[in-house]
Structure 1
Amino acid sequence: MASRRPSRPSPDQHHHQQLQRRLGVLDSTAIGLGSMLGAGVFVVFAPAAALAGPLLAVAVAVAGVIAYCNAVASAQLAAKYPSSGGTYVYGRNRLGEWPGFIAGWGFVTGKTASCAAMALTFGHYIAPAYATPLAVAAVVVLTGVNLLGITRTALLTRILLAAVLATIVFVAVASLLGPHPDGAPAAAGASAAQAVSGGGWGVLPAAGLMFFAFAGYARIATLGEEVKDPTRTIPRAILAALAGAFVIYLGLALLLQWHLPPQQLATSTAPLLDAVAVSQLSAGVPFVQAGAAAACLGALLALITGVGRTSLAMARERDLPSPLARVGGAHTVPFLAELAVAAVVILLLLSTNVMTVVGFSSFGVLIYYSVTNAAAFTLTARPWHAPRWLNVLGFLGCLVLAVTLPPASALVMAAVLAVGVAGRFLVLRLRLRKAAA
């Protein structure tokens, strides 16, 4: 059995393998909020509106409730286990190796695809004809930023977040000023009318897609080994980032539904741009394009960071190739894990269209958080605001949203999870045979 466990670093090597605690509440909150806003504001509203129709705000509220359950569970666990890896670590410690692996594999695969989606969205907003080369360049540059150390990552995230918030305020003002057109534009046609017919039955799959936008606070937990005073900092940062994102998403959902015809909102590829284009501030469209680019860069930066740290944690336990666990360089970063994530993202950008992976990523992240809630349920020492029934609600809510996602997304991610489970099973069998020999 000893051969199945990874060897631990010796005392004289230990300080070379550990990340350094440099992040406070403000930096941690900025990383989480930057992740959420970059994904949700410019990607999710249109497909969610197509499913939920006039009940888009209800879908946002449902996603927010489940996200709150997950955030509370994540905050409890991250304070108790302040190391890189997030729910992968929590699942292994509280539930066993297999639940931890499923959480980690779902996070790494889903969020790697999300990295590609954010990079390609950036390219489309800047220059659609050169979207893929620009996306590859963004991945290369931001990976270089991550390799300079986590404090540089946090600083750039704060700068990008400020630009995104300014863009959102501008869109909100433009939407409030109007004019507010009545009815759908002629170009929408009958097919657009069918796109918003989901209504009540579409609320749950729309909430599942909206959950993709709320998942950014996971990045705070995956950075637990680099947070100062994690018992105090991590819960505050997670709840602050989630609260800020919820207020922004709900406000934008209400404004977009009021300002744009439902058919146009449901079929738009850039609803925030459309909201400004039909307003009295239409001259500000380039400003919104720049803000969208900043949002995508901020999300991509935080995503690469989070996936790299989870890959580091899985490699430490030999659930991914052990060289990915190497930490080094002048800024003590998991450089091989970061480079591996960047390489896979670039491969996706060059080989496939990843703009349809929102549902794919949502499924993986919902499975990840179902493990989070199950792990948090086993904790005995609990603050007053984290009763066990909240973990039950979060666990069941995650599973319901996952299975009600568009079937193609759910089936693809289920197949990816199955491949990971089968691969780990075979590797463990081979290790047992070698140990017996």
Structure 2
Amino acid sequence: MRDELARRLGTTDAVVVGLSAMIGAGVFAAFAPAAAAAHGWLLLSLALAAVVAYCNATSSARLAAVHPESGGTYVYGRRRLGPLWGYLAGWGFTVGKTASCAAMALTFAAYVAPGHERPVAVAAVAALTLLNLFGVQRSAGLARVIVTFVLAVLAAVIVAGLFGDDRVSFGWFANTPYPGGAVTAWDVLQAGGLLFFAFAGYARIATLGEEVRDPARTIPRAIGIALGVTLVVYLLVALAALRALKPELLARSTAPLADVVREAGAGWLAPVVQAGAAVAALGALLALLLGVSRTVLAMARERDLPGVLAAVDPVRQVPRRAEAAVGVAVIVLLLVADLREAIGFSSFGVLVYYGIANASALTLGRDEGAPPRAVPVLGLVLCLTLAATLPTASVLAGLAVFAVGLAIYLVRRRPLRRLP
């Protein structure tokens, strides 16, 4: 019998973990590149991202209720589609999100200690890994503090952007001319992909399925609440940014939400917004470390990763070896590479991960709480479509990462030839 994790998280804890992952540093930066692609059609791109998120979240929630184990889509893929599909989901998530952890740590360090990013990033990863080793409840407690602060900062941005300087208005809407030429459907799709990645963290709730009380009820409810709050916040932030900056200025901004408060006549809020971005990056890093370590635990249990990582601490009832391994891997990446511009494959991996989740949901029966068939079908199609719109370098990097993972899978399962 395998060691089980303790079920200590309630609905509020699960919602907070999801929010800390979704309302991370992405909300402070994602709208600028999305506006550069979609221009006046930014809200349409946001709506597209919301549809993709809804489909993926619904599929993940229904699957988590049936399979309340650590590992998320890795587990669902194995149970519903077969070991290979589960492995590919787990491989893409683990490799891609380990790199994302390093990038998020560097983002946090860039805000709090410019010029000393690498040592500060290493210290942040070490500190959060140590916190996780002492139990998921302590991690959830810190996430609650982080989410509260970040939401307060975003509320200030929204109020300033929507009700600030009377000189700004919504006279920009839709297909207004701009130097880049007419907006195409491809541009809208690409912007939708960028915005989707900024709030795709509801999977963190599902990966913690083994640590949630009454998972069949709690997980779907927590995912729905977290996603709903995030969508409302993102819509209001988008409206505030477009009113204050217009698409042209928003597309060129390197710190769009700080520019929103400056343009709205509340420049004194800019340092607070910068602090909010740093804290949001820390919250996203915390949620990422939790999610990756639980996926590593699930893969180790099935021997897709070394079995030694499947151990659960008998006192704290947390996967200490998996958590420590993830922390060490992230620190090693921080020491040997600058991943802020080299993790395009992570975005590709996220879409493949959720594509497998939607495909898995298609196998659910009515007695298992299957969602309407159109939901996972639409989610699967949109995941593949958005993956295709990513920059070519990101697609090629993603395919290369999955090719390496597939090669490892086939070699590990090749039967040994008997000696004559």
TM-score normalized by structure 1?
0.90
How many residues are aligned here?
Answer: 412
**Distance in 2 between residues matched to 1:147 and 1:382, nearest whole Å:** 38
**Distance in 1 between residues matched to 2:212 and 2:418, nearest whole Å:** 38
The 8 Å contact of residues 49 and 196 in structure 1, kept in 2 or not, is answered as no
Establish whether residue 250 from structure 1 lines up as the match of residue 258 from structure 2: no
The 8 Å contact of residues 147 and 335 in structure 1, kept in 2 or not, is answered as yes
Residue 320 and residue 383 in structure 1: after superposition, are their counterparts in 2 closer, same or farther (change >3 A)? closer
Establish whether residue 216 from structure 1 lines up as the match of residue 201 from structure 2: yes
**Distance in 1 between residues matched to 2:8 and 2:109, nearest whole Å:** 32
**Distance in 1 between residues matched to 2:150 and 2:117, nearest whole Å:** 20
The 8 Å contact of residues 209 and 358 in structure 1, kept in 2 or not, is answered as no
**Distance in 2 between residues matched to 1:116 and 1:99, nearest whole Å:** 26
Residue deviations 1:212-261 (CA, integer Å, cap 9, x gap): 12211100000000000001000000111111111111221121111114
The match for 1:92 is: 78
The one of 125, 138, 146 equivalent to 1:139 is 125
The one of 340, 364, 389 equivalent to 2:349 is 364
The one of 366, 385, 390 equivalent to 1:400 is 385
Residue deviations 1:245-279 (CA, integer Å, cap 9, x gap): 11111221121111114233112221111112233
**% identical equivalent positions:** 54
Structure 2 counterpart of 1:300, one-letter code:
L
Aligned ranges for residues 223-234 of structure 1 at < 5 Å? 223-234=208-219
The 8 Å contact of residues 180 and 259 in structure 1, kept in 2 or not, is answered as no
The match for 2:175 is: none
The match for 1:6 is: none
Structure 2 counterpart of 1:322, one-letter code:
G
The 8 Å contact of residues 196 and 262 in structure 1, kept in 2 or not, is answered as no
The 8 Å contact of residues 30 and 195 in structure 2, kept in 1 or not, is answered as yes
| RMSD of aligned residue pairs (Cα, Å) | 2.1
Establish whether residue 389 from structure 1 lines up as the match of residue 374 from structure 2: yes
Residue deviations 1:121-158 (CA, integer Å, cap 9, x gap): 11111122112222111111111111110100111101
Structure 2 counterpart of 1:54, one-letter code:
G
The match for 2:33 is: 47
The match for 2:399 is: 414
Residue deviations 1:322-369 (CA, integer Å, cap 9, x gap): 111121163121112112211222222223332235643221111011
The 8 Å contact of residues 62 and 369 in structure 2, kept in 1 or not, is answered as no
The 8 Å contact of residues 38 and 299 in structure 1, kept in 2 or not, is answered as yes
The 8 Å contact of residues 177 and 280 in structure 1, kept in 2 or not, is answered as no
Structure 2 counterpart of 1:433, one-letter code:
L
The one of 139, 145, 148 equivalent to 2:134 is 148
**Distance in 2 between residues matched to 1:219 and 1:255, nearest whole Å:** 28
**Distance in 1 between residues matched to 2:242 and 2:182, nearest whole Å:** 15
Structure 2 counterpart of 1:114, one-letter code:
S
Establish whether residue 206 from structure 1 lines up as the match of residue 191 from structure 2: yes
**Distance in 1 between residues matched to 2:403 and 2:138, nearest whole Å:** 37
Structure 2 counterpart of 1:331, one-letter code:
R
In structure 1, stretches of 5+ residues that fail to align are 1-8, 184-192
**Distance in 2 between residues matched to 1:166 and 1:330, nearest whole Å:** 36
Once the two structures are overlaid, the 10-residue window that deviates more, 46-55 or 85-94, is 46-55
The match for 1:64 is: 50
**Distance in 2 between residues matched to 1:34 and 1:417, nearest whole Å:** 28
The match for 2:174 is: none
The match for 2:6 is: 20
Residue 36 and residue 382 in structure 1: after superposition, are their counterparts in 2 closer, same or farther (change >3 A)? farther
Residue 349 and residue 197 in structure 1: after superposition, are their counterparts in 2 closer, same or farther (change >3 A)? farther
Structure 2 counterpart of 1:103, one-letter code:
A
The match for 2:116 is: 130
Instruction: Report SS of the residue matched to 1:424.
Output: helix
Once the two structures are overlaid, the 10-residue window that deviates more, 324-333 or 406-415, is 324-333
The 8 Å contact of residues 53 and 196 in structure 1, kept in 2 or not, is answered as no
In structure 2, stretches of 5+ residues that fail to align are 170-177
Instruction: Report SS of the residue matched to 1:330.
Output: coil
The one of 192, 206, 222 equivalent to 1:237 is 222
Instruction: Report SS of the residue matched to 1:327.
Output: coil
